[in-house]
Chain A
Amino acid sequence: MQPNVVARVIAGLKAAGVSVVCYLPDSLFKELYPALDQDPDIRTIQVTNEGEGAAICGGLFLSGKRAALIMENSGLRASIEPLARMGMGAGIPVVMLMSYRGDLGENNWWAIPHGMTMEPLLEAMRIPYRVVDREDEIERSIRDAFQWSYAAYYHSAIALTGALVR
């Protein structure tokens, strides 16, 4: 991930009012995590699995603070159970920013299932999402996701792909 892309993501999070990020590190966003850790305006919490991160973000929503869950898209599979119960049950939203592993251009065999499952799972969960591959769409997309989730009280997702993450 190039420094200018990292900067756009952080600018988007700030523009959306995010003050806390929960993450499980991954390779495509490798440069993003230390930048978030070093940002004085954002508190980062590294979690042990993405489902735990989703639940922490849910607690942050209840506190009135805006949080984002940042992860590889495989983390969506680990998060489905808490996401289903929090979102469809109580109406507690989680906004996710994911790296799109397994998209066209993928060169790792193990990452192919991530690409095959991400969009069908989001659709099964009725989670609106945007796949972003242009730098100038990052900030707007993150702001749009928060706007929607705070109107719907349901989850939304942004997946970054293409040259943004390779």
Chain B
Amino acid sequence: MKRYDCMERLGAMLKDELVILSLGGSVDEWYNAAPHMRAASLFQQQLGCVTPQAFGLAVGLPHRRIVSLDTDGGMLFNLGILATLGNEQPANLLVVVWDNECYQSIGGPPTHTAKGKVDIAAIARGAGVGHSYTVYDLDAFESRCRDGLAARVPHVIVAKVEPGVRRDVHRKHSDGREDKYIFVRHIEATEGIVIMGPSEHN
């Protein structure tokens, strides 16, 4: 199963949602696979922070569906967030974990899932996120995501995907700080709120 194909399936299901995603090649893949979600998606550069930030967003905007596109390396960096999700049970958060069993963005050395012993979905279930599943094909991925997007409890979908980055995609023309402004302005416009307003004086 290829991550890009999963992204196209997931993107087709999204409209008003907000997405926090992980660093690396998956950023350009996502913006190409789901171009209509460009302003509604923000990538975060630090391992272990993608799902916590998505959870914070879910707490702050409880009426809105939030999607976290995390990774095996990122989730393993801070497994504690699964226990926090287990306790807090956010009603509007879907977590997808792209599990390619490697640190793709630095050339592909293996993560802990590569030996076949570490099961992130089982860890998530043990942490209290009952709807946690591992999927191996596109139809199962789409079906689990559809269920998770409609649910009132958190879902964690671990998608077993092939290593590798799709090369024939457009690179985004912005840096992370610019992306934050694009994302915040999108939320301001769609929520009718001010997040980063003007100073007292110009």
Instruction: Among A20, A47, A81, A90, point to the contact of B80 (Cβ < 8 A).
Output: A47
Report if A12 contacts B (CB, 8 A).
no
Give how many A-B residue pairs fall within 8 Å (CB-CB).
Answer: 114
Looking across the interface, which residue of chain B has its beta carbon closest to that of A49?
B80
| In the complex with contacts A45-B84, A45-B88, A91-B177, A64-B195 CB distance below 8 A | yes
* CB-CB contacts below 8 Å: B153-202 with A: 176-177, 179-180, 183-184, 187-188, 191, 193-196, 199
Report if B78 contacts A (CB, 8 A).
yes
**How many Å from the CB of B175 to the closest CB on chain A?**
9
Report if A1 contacts B (CB, 8 A).
no
B193 neighbours in A (Cβ, 8 Å):
64
Q: Are B59 and A55 in contact, CB atoms less than 8 angstroms apart?
A: no
Q: Are A43 and B59 in contact, CB atoms less than 8 angstroms apart?
A: yes
Report if A48 contacts B (CB, 8 A).
yes
| In the complex with contacts A56-B55, A59-B54, A90-B176, A85-B45 CB distance below 8 A | yes
State how many residues of chain B have any CB contact under 8 Å with chain A. 38
Q: Are B48 and A52 in contact, CB atoms less than 8 angstroms apart?
A: yes
Of the four ranges (under 10, 10 to 19, 20 to 34, 35 or more), the interface on chain A belongs to 20 to 34
**How many Å from the CB of A107 to the closest CB on chain B?**
30
Report if B107 contacts A (CB, 8 A).
no
* CB-CB contacts below 8 Å: A20-77 with B: 20, 43, 45-49, 51-52, 55-65, 67
B110 neighbours in A (Cβ, 8 Å):
none
A124 neighbours in B (Cβ, 8 Å):
none
| In the complex with contacts A45-B59, A49-B80, A63-B187 CB distance below 8 A | yes
| In the complex with contacts A52-B81, A86-B46, A62-B177 CB distance below 8 A | no
B45 neighbours in A (Cβ, 8 Å):
85, 89-90
Q: Are B42 and A62 in contact, CB atoms less than 8 angstroms apart?
A: yes
Q: Are B187 and A62 in contact, CB atoms less than 8 angstroms apart?
A: yes
| In the complex with contacts A48-B80, A63-B187, A56-B177 CB distance below 8 A | no
B180 neighbours in A (Cβ, 8 Å):
62, 90-92
A57 neighbours in B (Cβ, 8 Å):
56
A61 neighbours in B (Cβ, 8 Å):
56, 195
* CB-CB contacts below 8 Å: B47-93 with A: 48-49, 52-61, 78, 80-81, 83-84, 87-88
Report if A82 contacts B (CB, 8 A).
yes
B88 neighbours in A (Cβ, 8 Å):
45
Q: Are A52 and B78 in contact, CB atoms less than 8 angstroms apart?
A: yes
Looking across the interface, which residue of chain A has its beta carbon closest to that of B193?
A64
Q: Are B83 and A48 in contact, CB atoms less than 8 angstroms apart?
A: yes
A51–B81 CA distance with the chains assembled, in angstroms: 10
A63 neighbours in B (Cβ, 8 Å):
56-57, 59-61, 187, 195
> What is B's interface to A at a CB cutoff of 8 Å?
20, 42, 44-46, 48-49, 52-61, 78, 80-81, 83-84, 87-88, 176-177, 179-180, 183-184, 187-188, 191, 193-196, 199
Chain A to chain B contacts (Cβ below 8 Å), 27 pairs: A45-B84, A46-B87, A48-B78, A48-B84, A51-B48, A51-B78, A52-B80, A55-B49, A56-B52, A56-B53, A56-B84, A57-B56, A59-B53, A59-B58, A62-B56, A63-B56, A64-B187, A64-B193, A64-B194, A64-B195, A65-B60, A67-B56, A82-B46, A85-B45, A90-B44, A90-B176, A90-B177
